[in-house]
Amino acid sequence: MNRIIEFFKAGSFAILLFYAGVLLFNWPLLSMAAESGESSIFSYLLISWTVIVVLLIAVGQSIRHGEKTKKED
C-alpha cells in the first residue's frame, strides 16, 4: 500500500496526469470520438473526466495520508 501512496505522491505522476489530461481533451482524440456521433463524444468526455477526477482524488488522499503519518511520528 505504501508503494501506491508514494507513486501517487511523486511529482512525476502529477506531470504524467497533466499530460494525460492534455492528450485526452486535445483535438485528435476528440475528433475521433466525434466522428461516431454525439452520444459517443459525450461518453468519451464523461469517462475521461471521471478518470482524471478519480486520479486527482487519489493524489490528494495519498498526500493527506503522508501528512497524517508524519504527524504521528
- Residue 73's pLDDT is 63
Residue 8 belongs to some domain of the structure:
no
Residue 1 belongs to some domain of the structure:
no
Residue 5 belongs to some domain of the structure:
no
Residue 29 belongs to some domain of the structure:
yes
pTM confidence score: 0.79
What is the tally of structural domains in the chain?
Answer: 1
- Residue 44's pLDDT is 94
pLDDT confidence bin for 2, thresholds 50/70/90: confident
Residue 6 belongs to some domain of the structure:
no
Place of cell 454525439: 38
Cβ contact 6:59 at 8 Å: no
- Residue 4's pLDDT is 87
Residue 4 belongs to some domain of the structure:
no
Residue 7 belongs to some domain of the structure:
no
Query: Domain limits at 46?
Result: 13-67
> For 18-70, how does the pLDDT look when each residue is reduced to its tens digit (9 = 90+)?
999 999 999 888 888 888 888 999 999 999 999 999 999 999 998 888 777 77
